[in-house]
Amino acid sequence: MKTDIHPKYYENAKASCACGNKWTTSSTISEIHTGICAKCHPFYTGQEKILDTMGRVERFKKRLERSATKAKRAK
């Protein structure tokens, strides 16, 4: 087997988020910068917005019908 092929492993890597939250973890990178973490992610903070997918689908179908009828009238 080849020797020295694995990257250096940092037991106390420093991780930080855009919101200012900082923590330590283990990684092959000494410093990690993330855009979002569990402290600021909407799913974990309870500020999650549930999308009304049924309403979106219905609106899309209405627009599709209107464009189809306009195309028929144009012919």
Are residues 18 and 36 in contact, defined by beta-carbon separation less than 8 angstroms? Answer: yes
- Binding-site residues for Zn(2+) sit at 17, 19, 37, 40
| One-letter amino acid of 24 | T
- Binding-site residues sit at 17, 19, 37, 40
Helix ranges (H only) for 1-75 are 42-45, 53-74
